[in-house]
Amino acid sequence: MDQYNFLEITAFIGIFVILFLALFLLTVKTKHKLGNQLFAFFLIGNAIDACKHLIHHIPENFINLEAFRWSIVFLVPASFYFYVMSVCFSDFRLKTKHLLHAIPFIAYNLNLISGIYFETTAMKLHFMQRMNQMPITHFFQILFELLFQVYFIASFLIIRNSRTVYLENYTNPNISLINALHKITIVYYLLHFLVLLRWLVTFTIGLGEVRQWIVTLDGFTFLFCTCWYLFIALNNPEFFRGVNSHLKPITEVVRKQKPNLLVAEEKNKQIEFLKDFMVEKEPYLDSSLTIQDLSEQVKMPVKDLSTLINFYMDKHFFDFVNEYRIEKAMQILRDSSQKELTVLEILYQVGFNSKSSFSTSFKKHTGKTPTDFRKNPI
């Protein structure tokens, strides 16, 4: 088997698997349809682009279709960006204004109208032969690169921002999907450098074996990373499903204040009150507790409570609440009269809803696993 046959087989398997996953995302019954549809479109766009590895001859009747295939890549970065938005923000919806993101796709097709779509076969072939030397082609190549950079950097910033907001406002520790999305965004971004390397090799060395191996590596790694991410997401449907887009990190809402004795004394009183409330009323036992829920219980505006915890106590709401849950779990584990309770029963009792997240938080807080702590509660 030579290198070109290996590339074709890899491309064929990759396209088949990606389209199969996209079909699953489009047909699976879930309340998160928009996110699935957007990611499916992202996968389909990449599969369409990967078809170039299987196309060696273009029939005259399909030249227009092949030219249109080239333009699909201008929608791919935007579709991933919208997917990130749908995962990070629970209230994200596609709106008419989002059609503006299709302008590069439309512009590229307008460029093809004069050269391919409405021309004779001879003119189409002539245009295709010289298009790589045309300045307009170089412009669209640079435009695509710019779009890729902007959309993926924006996706990275949105993920980082929403994760901060989540930790400041929610206590459910299942944020594995947002962490996986963060990793896959970085991976896709890094993989794009293989595309840049391919372009560099094309312009310096030309179309040769080195370029083909780079293309093969690019397609294989994209397929592997996509399957890895989908494996995580599809097997953990209860994981992170977005925050309200109107929520902002506390550092963007509250400006740094100069030390003030009166302010410090007032905040200390509020902190003591909050700590006493947490111990006496045990609101943390509610696994779905949010900062909005707690603000209603302590009769304090959400903004003030968030500032108190995240700013003056220098803790995420996520960590603040889970510390009380761990302390409660430690109390139960020390109690010999409750030794019949399993670790799973205890974690649900104190407000957690995942064994893995409970174990991680418990070990972070105590340095021991729950089982080890029960054996040696010192």
Which domains, from first to last, does the chain contain?
3-234 (1.20.1070), 250-375 (1.10.10.60)
Which of the given ranges, 185-199, 242-256, 325-339, has the highest pLDDT on average? 325-339
Q: CB under 8 Å to 280, separation ≥6 — which residues?
A: none
pLDDT in tens, 131-167: 878 899 889 988 998 999 999 999 999 988 888 887 7
HSE (side-chain half, CA atoms, 13 Å) at 163: 17
Other CB atoms within 10 Å distance of the CB of residue 143: 14
pLDDT in tens, 305-324: 888 888 888 888 888 898 99
Using the predicted structure, report yes or no on whether residue 180 has a pLDDT greater than 90: no
Integer distance in angstroms from the first to the last C-alpha of the chain?
64
pLDDT in tens, 97-127: 999 999 999 999 999 998 899 888 888 888 8
Beta bridge partners of 89: 243
Which of the given ranges, 61-75, 226-240, 250-264, has the highest pLDDT on average? 61-75
The pLDDT of residue 265 is 79
Banded model confidence at residue 169, pLDDT cuts 50, 70, 90: confident
Using the predicted structure, report yes or no on whether residue 197 has a pLDDT greater than 70: yes
The pLDDT of residue 212 is 67
Using the predicted structure, report yes or no on whether residue 61 has a pLDDT greater than 60: yes
Kindly tell me the burial class for residue 49, based on how many C-beta atoms sit within 10 Å of its own C-beta (0-12, 13-18, 19 or more): middle
In the numeric block, which tokens belong to residue 295?
């603000």
Kindly tell me the burial class for residue 363, based on how many C-beta atoms sit within 10 Å of its own C-beta (0-12, 13-18, 19 or more): middle
In the numeric block, which tokens belong to residue 5?
């046959």
Q: Is 369 left (phi over 0), alpha (psi -120 to 50) or beta?
A: beta
Q: Please state the rounded mean pLDDT for residues 249-253.
A: 59
Mean pLDDT of the chain: 82
Of 236 and 346, which is predicted with more confidence?
346
What's the predicted TM-score (pTM) here? 0.74
Q: Where are the alpha helices (DSSP H) in 250-351?
A: 250-253, 261-281, 291-298, 302-306, 317-334, 343-349
Banded model confidence at residue 244, pLDDT cuts 50, 70, 90: low
Banded model confidence at residue 208, pLDDT cuts 50, 70, 90: low
The pLDDT of residue 206 is 60
The pLDDT of residue 57 is 80
The pLDDT of residue 356 is 78
Q: What is the helix, strand, coil percentage profile of the chain, to 5?
A: 75, 0, 20
Q: Please state the rounded mean pLDDT for residues 73-90.
A: 90
Using the predicted structure, report yes or no on whether residue 241 has a pLDDT greater than 70: no
